[in-house]
Amino acid sequence: MFTLISLPYALDALQPIVSAQTLSFHYGKHLQAYVDNLNKLIAGTEFENMPLEEIVCKSSGAIFNNAGQMLNHNLYFTQFSPVSANNHAPQGVLLDAIVRDFGSLDNFKTEFEQKGTTLFGSGWVWLSVDKEGKLVITQESNAQNPVTKGLRPLLTMDVWEHAYYLDYQNRRAAHLQALWDIINWEEIERRYVA
């Protein structure tokens, strides 16, 4: 049985970038539904006691969609901290790798936002690390996650409309640009060095 993750902050802690209303629907309704659906779908199947990432890599159809969305949202919701926190810039080995692979932090952010803005339909834009240790940005449609391509996901932005429509309506680019102010880069670095 999978359970809903706990948020490492209060529902109103990400305002004004993400409203408490958006978070209450996105986390409390959308993610909860993916968890509940996945538990129903895997009961009595070969996936019942499998780790979540393994289900994402081995399943298809409805099980894949719900497992993928659960994994995506678990990584998404645990990568934020309030605007007032002191961890909204990458440092150390992770900053070095970003400069090495994208030229500069600004270049990385521009490319990441551009990939998120141009992703057609619903999906996710990801920063991952490949098997050679290189950082890569990928666009993933719907419930896809970079683990299915052998990548290790570090950072993501959700471009499904449910992630931003209450606060930003059709202004996806403005939402993505604003999210940098709540990214917890200590958590991203922890994932990078893990």
Least distance CB 76 / Mn ion (angstroms): 7
Residue 65 tokens, joined: 């969609």
Strand pairing category for 152-158 and 135-141: unpaired
C-beta of 2 vs 99, nearer to Mn ion: 2
Min separation Cβ 124 and Mn ion, Å = 8
For residue 56 the two structure tokens come to 């994402």
Distance, in Å, from the CA atom of 145 to the CA atom of 67, rounded to the nearest integer, reads 10
Cβ pair 153, 145 in contact under 8 A: yes
Closer to Mn ion by Cβ: residue 10 or 33: 33
* Nearest position to Mn ion, beta carbon: 158
Work out how close the CB of 96 gets to Mn ion at its nearest, in angstroms, rounded to a whole number: 31
Q: Which is nearer to Mn ion, 70 or 163 (CB)?
A: 163
Q: How far is the CB of 52 from Mn ion (least distance, A)?
A: 16
76 or 192: CB nearest Mn ion: 76
The residue among 112 and 160 lying less far from Mn ion, judged by its C-beta, is: 160
The helix or strand, by DSSP H or E, that contains position 158, with its residue range, turns out to be strand 152-158
Q: How far is the CB of 115 from Mn ion (least distance, A)?
A: 17
**Residues in contact with 39: Cβ distance below 8 Å, sequence separation at least 6, in sequence order:** 1, 2
Contact footprint for Mn ion (CB under 5 A): 158, 160, 163
Q: Are 107 and 137 in contact (CB under 8 A)?
A: no
Q: How many CA atoms lie within 13 A of 147 on its CB side?
A: 19
